Structures are given as C-alpha cells and as structure tokens.
Structure 1
Amino acid sequence: MKQSLQLRTSQHLALTPQLQQSIRLLQLSTLELHQELEQILTDNPLLERMDDALDNSVRLLADGAISNTQSSGISEGGEHQGESTPASGDTDPGFEFQELSPHTDTSIAGESDWSFDDVARTGKTPDDEDARPQLEAHETTLREHLLEQIRVTARTVRDRGLLELLTDALDEHGYLEEPLEEIHARIPEELEVDLEELSIALTLLQSLDPAGVGARSPSECLALQIRRMPKVAFVTRKMALRIVEECLQLFAQRDFNKIKKALDCDDEDLREAQAIIRQCNPHPGSEFAGDVSDYVVPDVIVKYSKNGWQVLLNHDVMPKLRVNAMYANALKQAKGEVSLTSQLQEAKWLIKNMRQRFDTILRVAQAIVERQRNFFSHGAVAMRPLVLREIADTLGLHESTISRVTTQKYMLTPHGMFELKYFFGSHVATETGGEASSTAIRALIKQLIGAEDPKTPLSDSKIADMLAEQGMVVARRTVAKYREVLRIPPVNLRKSL
C-alpha cells in the first residue's frame, strides 16, 4: 500500500480553561460557589474579596484588648483609611491598575451597569448590642437532662450507678432498645446486681421527665404518658390504655370498626380516648435531639411593583471581588513574572465568569417569571406547563445551560421559596384540547383533600372523577402518584371518627 499525505479541514468545539470554569461556576449552588471561591482566593494572591463577613465583629488584639478598628477600613468620618483602595478587576486586556477615590465603585464587574454595592449596609456602633457577636447557648442533651434529675432522685450511689447505666443505653428518641437481660449480662458479677434490681431502676427511670422516657416499645411509651396525664376521667384513661396496649396497630391503621368491636365501645368513648392518645409524644427524647435546621438562601427575589413582577438578584450571595492593586502594580513594574501573569489572567477570568453566572441566573429567572405570571398572581393552581427548551429558545442558550442554571438555585416569592426547577413541569391534556401543568394538578389534589370530610375521605378514584369534571383527564394511578409526592396518606389513614 502506497503511503501519502492528505490535508483535511474539520470543525470541533474545544473547551478552553475559561469556558470550563464558566460552566463549573454556573452549575454550583450558592454554598458550593462560596466554598470554591475560598479555595481560589487561597491559591491566587492577586484576587481578593471586599465583603468581609467579620466587618461588624469585635476583634481582639494580641494583648487581649478590644480593637476599635474594623476590617472594612472605614473611619468614623466615613472615609477609608490604611491601605489605598485597589482597583476593581476589569476584564479588559488594556486595564490599568490605578488608585481609586474612597467613593469609587469597586464592584466585581467594575462597570457602571453592574454594581454589587447597591444595597447599603447600615453601620453599627460598638454600643449597639447587635454589633457584638452573639454566642449560641448550650443545648441540653437528653442524657444531661436525665442525669440532673438522677442526682436529686437517687438515694444511694448504687442506685445512681444503675440509673446512669440505663441512661447510657437510651437512644436519641428516649427508648431502651437493648433488652434488660443483655444490660444485666454486662454488669460485673462482683457487684451482685440481680435482674429484679435492674428492673426497679428502670421503673424509677421511667418516672423521670420527659414522660415516656425509658420505654421499650411505642406501646409502653404511650402508656407511660397516659398514666401521668392529669385531669383525665378514669373511664377515658382506661380506654386509652387498652387501645395503646392491645390495639395500637389497628389504631395506627385507623381501623376504628375493629377497635370498637374488640373493646366493645361506642364512637363517643373512642373519640375521647383518641383525643388523649394524640396528646402523647411517641418520641419523648426528640425535643433534646438538637437538630440544626437547614436554611436555603435565595439567589433571586421576586417582588411586585407598580410595573408588575420584578426579579432582583440577592446581593447577599453575590461575592464582591477585585484584583489586588499592590500585586498588580508590582507585576506591571516587573514585566516578566510568568507565574504572576497567569494568576492575573485567572483572576480576570474568574471575575468575568462570576459576573456572567449571575447575569445568566437573572435572565433565566426573568424568563420564568414572564411565563408563570399566573402562578405569582394566583398560586400553584395557575401554573402552566413549561419545559427547559422553551426558556432555552427564548434566551438563545443551550438546554443544558438552562438545566445547570435551574439546579440548586432558589427563588424567593410571595408564595414561598422554590427551586427554579419547580416552575418546570410536564403537561396533562384537558377535554377542551388544552394543557394543564402537573404542578397545578397536584395543587388541586391538595385542595380537594384539604376540603374533604374527615369521616368520609376522598379515594383516588373519586379525586380522578372530580378532576375530570373540571376538564382534566387524569388516571387514578396518576392521582395516587401525585398524592404520594405530596406526602398525603391514603384514604384509610385519613379517616377519622
């Protein structure tokens, strides 16, 4: 075979480092973005941020004295002091680093139409209580709460030791899941502790606060609480105890007919006993769990004004970046430091990509609000079908870009906090030939179930028929799927006396 040389021309897409960074920043959530930014600031000395989270915090000097100066470098007269203010990170290749006046805008973009300093931050004097960092109070655990009672209740050191042993065996909900026999087997024989003595210690533990602690089953937990409830009629207390001890499974399934037959009672007696049982807490130790709530910070905020619905970026999640003027001027004089030159270019890229990220989020949010105006005016029942391609075609972006923008990005609206993906949903055909959003159908299902008679709750088939009367053709299994998404129990668990 004869060898030859041939020239061929072809086109292909090459992901430059700048484009790769832009895509990565776009798909990060707010929390991940700030974590990524902290790492970049550590690696690149030419990049710095102007929004210091400790600006209003009290700072201690090396000798323990309180510093009156704040990291923002603003004096009492409102003028900057200390180092000169560096220039903002302009992305123009011909950008020159100059000292700026105290009132010069030093936002991330360095452009007049992109200022992140629009929201004024109110200054706080050292005399203000809010100006000092607040320390979080120590949360008492279930074990600490019980040990404090044991120190007062236990008469002897031996009793205290047994109670502390049982306390250490409790789970986070206050249950004693390990059998007493196994706990007794771990006790050294030379202490001469028999099983009956350990059982007496458990009875003493179950008398402590909160009521129901030390129970070995949900039935025992509820029974302990019912026995300690004040001002309960004897007949009602006895009926409630029989239900939790003999028919708890039927009670959980709301099979009231079988309960009335097994206990030989009427609706009134069962209703009074049910009211007593519902006052009990099946997890008595949950109030000491100390679970920290997860808070979501919105990326965009939707407000209503005289011109209609307005979309604003949340300035609190937008980092304020700039190029360090001292390093930049040193680099300008050196004219040959390759490593610093590359870091300068990386800093410019980051500032540009950060600006582009928030600009894209704002454009997508505005397009969503424009198409879902009925939702913001009337609620979820007015949601219209929307797909990613519709927004992508409108903004001239790729569908994958819209997917990245709407993932883990949140919008604060008058109806609550929603992920941007919430506004996209499939459609269901109507009898008139139109389309209804699956989100609107779920909202209708929730409204129908919320307005139902608790004694005769609506079945999935009945809900499907009621939706059909409104022109929405929805199968029974679809209603069941939407109901499970809404975390609404089935019809037998929604029934009450």
Structure 2
Amino acid sequence: MKQGLSLRVSQHLALTPQLQQSIRLLQLSTLELSQEVDQMLDDNPFLELSEDQAEREDFGVAQADTPVSEGDRDAEFAASPMPDMGSATVTSTTSDEDNAPLGGDEGIDWDGDGSTEMSPDDGEWGVDAKARSNNLNGDEDKDATELARTQESLQAFLHRQALGLRLGAEDSAALRFLIESLNDDGYLEESLEDLARTLNPADEEEQDELVHHFSVALGLLHSLEPVGVGARGLAECLCLQVKALLQDVELDWDDREVLDVALRICQQPMELLARRDIKRLVQLGVGSDALVREAIAAIARLEPKPGRRFVDVERNIVVPDVLVLQVPNTNKAAQAKFRVMLNPDVMPRLKVHDIYANVLRNHRGGKDSASHAALQQRLQEARWFIKNIQQRFDTILRVSTAIVERQKSFFTHGELAMRPLVLREIADELGLHESTISRVTTAKYMATPFGTFELKYFFGSGLGTESGGNASSTAVRALIKQFISAESAKKPLSDNQISEMLKEQGIECARRTVAKYREGLKIAPASLRKAL
C-alpha cells in the first residue's frame, strides 16, 4: 500500500462545557432551575445568594439585541436533535467527561471567554429580584406553595376520624392499613385477599383471619367521610353515596323513589349509565322512563372521585416566568400597549463569594499550584453559572416580548383573536435557531390579563379562510367552545353542524377536525350533552 498526504476541508464544532450548561439551563422549568441553583450552591463554595442590589453584568439585556454570530447559530444547530444537519460535517466532541456533573473538577475546562476579568467586581445578577425567604414571617407573606403544603391529605383526614372509633388493636391496625392503601381518588384498588397475601403470603389460615379483619375495617371505612371512600370501583362508589342519601329521614317520597331507581341503575353494568341507554334500563325493569331520566340526573350530581378535593394542589401550582401588564393609556383611540417583564420571584440573585475570591486572588503562585488551579476553576465555574442563568432569563424575555408583539390582539380581545404563529417566525426575528425557541417555550409560563399560559400556547397552526388568510387553531377551538356553550341543552350541536357554522364564519374546518378539537377541549359528543 502506497502512503501519501492529502488535504480535506471539514467543519468541526466542539460543545464546550459553558455552551452545554447554557443549553441545559435554557430548557429547565422554574422548579428544575431552582433545584439546580440549590445544588450548585451546595457544591460550589464560591457561589452564594445575595440580598444586596448590584449592577447587572455587561452581558445582560443591554446586549440582548446584538446580532448572533454565525458560530453561535452553528452551535445551536449542533445541539438541536433535528436530523437535517446540512451538507457540512459537524462533529460534537461531547465525551463522558463533558457529561459529568458541572459542579465537579475533573474533565471540565472553564477557561476561554470567561476570564477572571469577565466580572471584575464579582457582583450579583438580578437587580429587581427579591432574596429568597421561607415565607413564614406572617400569613400575608405566605405564597400559594406554602398554603398548599398545609392542606390535609385524605389519609390524615381519615385517620383523624378513625380516632373517634372504639376499636380493638387488630381492627384498628386493619383500618389504618386500608386507609394507607387508598389511591389519590379514594379507591381501594387491590382486593382484600391480595392485601392479606402481601402481609403473610405463606399461612392460609392467617390470611383468612386477615381478610376477616379487613372486611370489618372496610365496613368502617365506608362509614367515614367523604362518602364513597374505600370503594373498589365506580359502581360501588356511587352505590355508597346513594345509600347515604337514602338514610336521610327527612327525604320525601318522590325523592326517595328517584334514589331507589338510581341505586338500581348503579347496580347495572356501568356501560348503560355511560351511554345513558334509557331504553335498555327501562327494559331491564329499573323503573319508568321518567324515573330513569330523573335518576340519571341525580347520579350525575354525585362525586365519582371522593378523594379529589384532598389531592395535593401543589402539583397544579404554576409560577409564571414572565408578567404581561397593560400600560395605562390616556388616549382611548390609540392601540393598547403592554409591558413585558420577568417575574422577580423566580429570578435567583447569585453572586461570587467576595471573601473567597479575594483570598484566592491574593495567593497566586503558591506552593500548591495544583490546588490553586482547581480552586480557580471552581471560581470560573461559578462565574459562568451566573452568566448562563442571566442569559437564560434574557432569552426568555426576548422571546416573550416577540410573542406579545405578534399576538397583541390576543392580549386585547382574548383567545378568539389569536393569530397563527410558528416557531420559525420568532426564530427568524430574533436570529436564533428554532430548537432554541422550542426550549424557551417549553415549561415556561406567562401571566396575562386573561390567565396564565405556557409560552407554547401562543403558537398554533392556521386554517384556511374564504378571504385567503389563515385563522389560528387556538381561535377555532375557542369559537367551538363558544358555540357549544350557547347551544340548546335539548338539541346540542353535532360536529357536522359546528363545521357548517365555522364555514359560515369563513373558516374551512372539516367535521373530523372539529371532533379532534372538541376532544382536545374535553367536551363530550352531542349524544352525551343532550339533556334528559
């Protein structure tokens, strides 16, 4: 084989630890970012929270409109999971060392643009942000999260009721076990035999004794509030609630007759009730047509999930990253103006520990140069973390501002005025890659005059109109919801009728598309919306 030399031109892009961290922080939600900050504060001694107000860094919002360099756009493109990478060869030099925890010292080089002169005063970032507090200074300072943590769980509520029962040690233990075996909806998913088998899988006699104690405890559990708790299925849950209503001594004869029919309906297959098959229920001898209709209406007022109100509401709390406020305008004829700002409560105020940084700066060139280099790397890591946090919020603010400008009609008139919008439009306007816009708009929320929405909510495809324009799919969903809310209860609108009504509005929307949007809105079909 003949040896020779050849030249080849190719492009190579190395994802530095700084860039990897910046991309990762950008896609984190507010809760995940808070956990990341806490972890970084524990790992890096040069990083601390600050309560003092200081100047923003030079790489902040003031430079947000600086044109993006070709190298940065290539870096975003390389980090994107999109398969179309173009004709050029782009190689990511991400090794196992690069994927190590960012708080570690091994395998990460924080040199480069983040020199020690990057932030001479090592000031903190976050001018308007409040310092962290535990929100326990008074009731007026408690936020929604703290209030959610004080909510009593279903198990605690049941255990408190069980204390008022005079039970033996074995029955009390069995009742406690059943209470702890309930799911979030208040149902007992496992059978009593399976529960007994998990406690003593070998001895059958002891299993039978455990099942007996569980049966007694289950009867006691069914007598506790909320009514229906401990049911093994929806049918039993509804039956327990109907029986509890029948125990009311002040109930008149007509209502009692309706509840008797309701109890018989709940004892039939649930498919008949779900389909509201009145004809079949009458054929089964449940009751007359009128009574069956009244009974189904009574069942609809019951609670199918007794533990629903005890579910921890903290999981449903959304803290907005961006606030949109309408600017007061004296000229009523002028177009409304809106102010877009970051939520100061979610912006961590971080700074480099001045004492540690000064000590390290004054002991350069000591005997232990290896230790000094390692500490210098941790200091640089802290500075880059502050920079990447700031860059994350600056990018969120830029994207949010662009969204508000594009969807100004929504902030004035509501979701019916939403315009079609795709990621590429915002990416082209800001000079960023679509993958970056996708990361920014995922799990980030905006508080608006009409409620709090995820940033992705403002993006939607367009449907053709008679005028040749496009109507946002979000606006079409809102229009469908409006049509259904105004329909007659006795003659609900079918999907085909809604499609025709949209065509009258100049929007081309097929029946199947209407059905898809209706299901996405969790609205039942016309047959189930019809009043009995």
Verify same fold: TM over 0.5.
Answer: yes
Question: Whose Rg is larger?
Answer: 1
Check the 8 A contact 2:323/2:340 in 1, yes or no. Answer: yes
Instruction: Report deviation, 1:413.
Output: 0.8
| Alpha-carbon distance between aligned partners in 2 of 1:47 and 1:379, rounded to the nearest angstrom | 43
With a CA cutoff of 8 Å and minimum separation of 6, indicate the structure with the bigger relative contact order: 2
Instruction: Report deviation, 1:128.
Output: 5.8
Check the 8 A contact 2:414/2:450 in 1, yes or no. Answer: yes
Check the 8 A contact 1:430/1:471 in 2, yes or no. Answer: yes
| Corresponding letter in the other structure for 2:343 | N
Q: 1:436 is matched with which residue: 456, 471, 489?
A: 471
| Alpha-carbon distance between aligned partners in 2 of 1:453 and 1:431, rounded to the nearest angstrom | 28
| Corresponding letter in the other structure for 2:435 | S
Instruction: Report deviation, 1:166.
Output: 6.0
Structure 2 residues not aligned, in runs of 5+:
59-113, 330-336, 366-371
* 1:171 has 2:186 as partner: no
| Alpha-carbon distance between aligned partners in 1 of 2:119 and 2:191, rounded to the nearest angstrom | 76
* 1:144 has 2:159 as partner: yes
Q: More displaced, 390-399 or 196-205?
A: 196-205
Distance 1:354 1:246, change over 3 A: closer
Per-residue CA shift, 1:152-204, capped at 9, x if unaligned?
xx5xx4xx745753663463355556666778998975999799998777656
Identity of aligned residues (%): 50
* 1:298 has 2:320 as partner: yes
Aligned to 1:480: 515
| Corresponding letter in the other structure for 1:326 | I
- After TM superposition, the score normalised by the length of structure 1 is 0.76
Check the 8 A contact 1:254/1:496 in 2, yes or no. Answer: no
Q: 2:347 is matched with which residue: 318, 326, 334?
A: 318
Aligned to 2:227: 211
Aligned to 1:406: 441
| Residue pairs, 1:30-429, within 5 angstroms | 30-50=30-50, 94=117, 106-108=123-125, 116-118=126-128, 136=150, 139=153, 141=155, 143-145=158-160, 147-151=162-166, 157=168, 161-162=170-171, 165=174, 168-169=177-178, 171-172=182-183, 173-175=185-187, 189=205, 206-229=222-245, 230=248, 231-233=251-253, 234-246=256-268, 248-263=270-285, 268-287=290-309, 292-306=314-328, 308-336=337-365, 337-429=372-464
| Alpha-carbon distance between aligned partners in 2 of 1:180 and 1:120, rounded to the nearest angstrom | 53
Distance 1:294 1:379, change over 3 A: same
SS in 2 for 1:246: coil
SS in 2 for 1:228: helix
Q: CA RMSD in A?
A: 3.9
Check the 8 A contact 2:152/2:310 in 1, yes or no. Answer: no
Check the 8 A contact 1:86/1:97 in 2, yes or no. Answer: no
Per-residue CA shift, 1:348-396, capped at 9, x if unaligned?
3222222222111111100000000111111111111111111111111
Aligned to 2:66: none
- After TM superposition, the score normalised by the length of structure 2 is 0.72
Instruction: Report deviation, 1:408.
Output: 1.4
Q: More displaced, 344-353 or 197-206?
A: 197-206
Distance 1:394 1:277, change over 3 A: same
| Alpha-carbon distance between aligned partners in 2 of 1:325 and 1:137, rounded to the nearest angstrom | 41
| Corresponding letter in the other structure for 1:367 | A
| Alpha-carbon distance between aligned partners in 1 of 2:214 and 2:380, rounded to the nearest angstrom | 72
Distance 1:9 1:139, change over 3 A: closer
| Alpha-carbon distance between aligned partners in 2 of 1:310 and 1:372, rounded to the nearest angstrom | 13
